[in-house]
Amino acid sequence: MIQLFLFFGKVAAFCLVAVSCLTPAQYIIRQHIEEATHYDGPRCPMYPSCATYGQKAIQEHGWLGFLLTVDRLVYRETGELYAKYSMIHFSDSNWPRYYDPLEDSLGESNPTLFSTDINVLSREEY
């Protein structure tokens, strides 16, 4: 059992150094954006969308970004969004969105609805 743990420890240590281990996750996110969103339209209840959040998080923070993305996806499906996030409205969307920027997840900012001009957000950002 100890040898097995050491083996996985070496693999995990290698992947922590090699950001290329995250390439499959980035590929899945890119495919989701190009195919699923193209046919179904943007239906994520969050802003930025989970795919955009995941792309930015992994690109900027590597494995920590991957874990933040997984945490967001799990909480989105199991948590009460209205209790944790502020709601925003887009002029070109029928659905309200919950505001959850990456910087807030890292504790780098204290966002409010007034810290971002929601009216200038483009369709590509969500």
- Provide the whole-model pTM: 0.66
pLDDT for the residue 85: 82
Give the separation between CA 92 and CA 35, rounded to whole angstroms.
21
- Give 93-104 pLDDT, tens digit per residue: 677 888 888 888
Q: Cβ neighbours of residue 14 under 8 Å, at least 6 residues apart?
A: 21
Pure H helices in the chain: 2-17, 23-31, 37-40, 50-61, 63-78, 81-84, 102-105
Residue 5 has pLDDT above 50, yes or no: no
Sketch the domain layout of the chain as residue ranges: 22-125
Longest dimension (CA), the chain: 57
pLDDT for the residue 69: 92
pLDDT for the residue 119: 45
